[in-house]
């Protein structure tokens, strides 16, 4: 056990042991994305309590648990990753149906979003078994929380999670073109050996602000916001900047004066005309993008 975490298990027991943890339930447990101190007290308690620990990499998770003084017999461990998720999920279902508490963890962060776990959770739910989330660390929300990129207005809020883009150049270029048409904040993930290629492709977004978050919560964490066209040059200035796992946040596209005027005109026209006619006229009168006006018209109709 790490000396700095010696009191963690006592704190976890004091904080979480009084809660109810049903048997025959799948516990989807978020784990640290780098800094071990980011584990939650409830996660520590459930990891001790679980009859089976299903994990993306048993060696990685064993190292995490040992840091906190948790030691599980070999029979309690089950590997479940992207290459065996369907088969291993059946083993998990059998153990759940036998009344075991099964905790699932990925290598880092919250399972089932970009990491394995979604198929397991779906299989358990389809079998009528309880699936319990234990929230915690996530590189996606960590990056968004400091990027200042998610608008809070009712009409322009939210974000799009695109995950890892295709590795082939042509497919990646096509994916970036689709993102270029998305006015909301977009979140991508990228590996160190592909970040330079992604940055070169994102240069097509020009002055659109992009936040690069590298090695989040770790010793060499680095977060910077630059125009998309400047990303490749920034990475080339220092080889260390290409190391580590990346979260890439594309900031939302600022509404142009034409768009703002188009929305105002659209609202007036919708009071007198059918939706498609109102959108066409608003676009012709103001020069605002027709697709944005059409989406806004649908939203306005839904609210009325």
How many other CB atoms sit within 10 Å of the CB of residue 172? 19
Are 301 and 275 contacting, i.e. CB atoms less than 8 angstroms apart? yes
Q: Which two tokens stand for residue 255?
A: 């509404």
> What's the confidence (pLDDT) of residue 154?
42
Q: pTM of the prediction?
A: 0.81
DSSP string, 5-28: GTTHHHHHHHHHTTS---SSEEEE
Digit-coded pLDDT (tens) for 168-223: 999 999 998 888 878 889 999 999 999 999 999 999 999 999 999 999 999 999 99
Q: Which of 2-6, 61-65, 67-71 has the lowest mean pLDDT?
A: 2-6
Which pLDDT belongs to residue 229?
95
DSSP, residue by residue, 205-247:
GTT-EEEEEESTTSTT-EEEEEEGGGHHHHHHT-GGGG-S-EE
Provide CB contacts within 8 A for 33, sequence distance 6+.
108, 109, 137, 138, 139, 142, 216, 217
Rounded Cα gap, residues 41 and 148, in angstroms: 29
Q: Read off the pLDDT of each residue in 251-264 and give the average, rounded to a whole number.
A: 72
Is-contact 131 124, C-beta < 8 A? yes
Over pLDDT 90: what percentage of the chain?
A: 68
Chain-centroid distance, C-alpha 151: 17
Q: State the pLDDT at residue 294.
A: 83
Closest to 103 measured CA to CA, from 231, 276, 250, 95: 95
Picking from 25-39, 88-102, 285-299, which range would have the lowest pLDDT averaged per residue? 285-299
The closest of 136, 107, 140, 139 to 40, measured between CA atoms, is 136
Helices (H) and strands (E) in the chain, counts: 12, 10
pLDDT confidence band for 48 (50 / 70 / 90): very high
Angle, nearest 10°, between helix axes 85-97 and 118-126? 40
- For residue 86, give every residue at least 6 positions away whose Cβ sits within 8 Å of its Cβ, in sequence order, or none: 119
pLDDT surpasses 80 at 1: no
């Amino acid at each position: 056990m790490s000396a700095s975490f010696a009191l963690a298990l006592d704190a976890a027991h004091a904080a979480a042991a009084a809660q109810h943890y049903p048997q025959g339930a799948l516990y989807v447990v978020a784990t640290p994305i780098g800094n071990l101190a980011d584990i939650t007290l409830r996660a520590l308690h459930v990891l001790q309590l679980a009859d089976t620990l299903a994990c993306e990499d048993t060696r990685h998770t064993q190292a995490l648990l040992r840091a906190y003084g948790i030691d599980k017999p070999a029979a309690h461990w089950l590997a479940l990753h992207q290459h065996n998720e369907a088969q291993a999920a059946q083993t998990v279902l059998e153990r759940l149906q036998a009344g075991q508490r099964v905790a699932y963890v990925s290598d880092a962060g919250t399972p089932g979003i970009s990491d394995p776990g979604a198929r397991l959770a779906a299989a358990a739910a389809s079998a009528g078994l309880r699936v319990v989330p234990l929230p915690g660390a996530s590189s996606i929300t960590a990056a968004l929380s400091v990027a200042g990129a998610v608008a809070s207005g009712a009409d322009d809020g939210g974000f799009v999670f695109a995950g890892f883009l295709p590795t082939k150049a042509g497919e990646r270029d096509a994916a970036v073109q689709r993102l270029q048409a998305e006015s909301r904040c977009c979140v991508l993930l990228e590996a160190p050996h592909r970040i330079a290629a992604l940055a070169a492709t994102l240069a097509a977004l020009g002055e659109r602000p992009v936040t690069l978050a590298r090695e989040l919560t770790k010793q060499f964490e680095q977060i910077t916001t630059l125009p998309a066209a400047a990303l490749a040059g920034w990475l080339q200035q220092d080889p260390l900047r290409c190391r580590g796992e990346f979260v890439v946040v594309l900031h939302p596209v600022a509404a142009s004066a034409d768009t703002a005027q188009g929305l105002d005109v659209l609202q007036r026209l919708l009071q007198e005309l059918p939706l498609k006619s109102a959108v066409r006229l608003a676009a012709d009168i103001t020069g605002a993008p027709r697709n944005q006006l059409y989406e806004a018209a649908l939203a306005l109709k839904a609210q009325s």
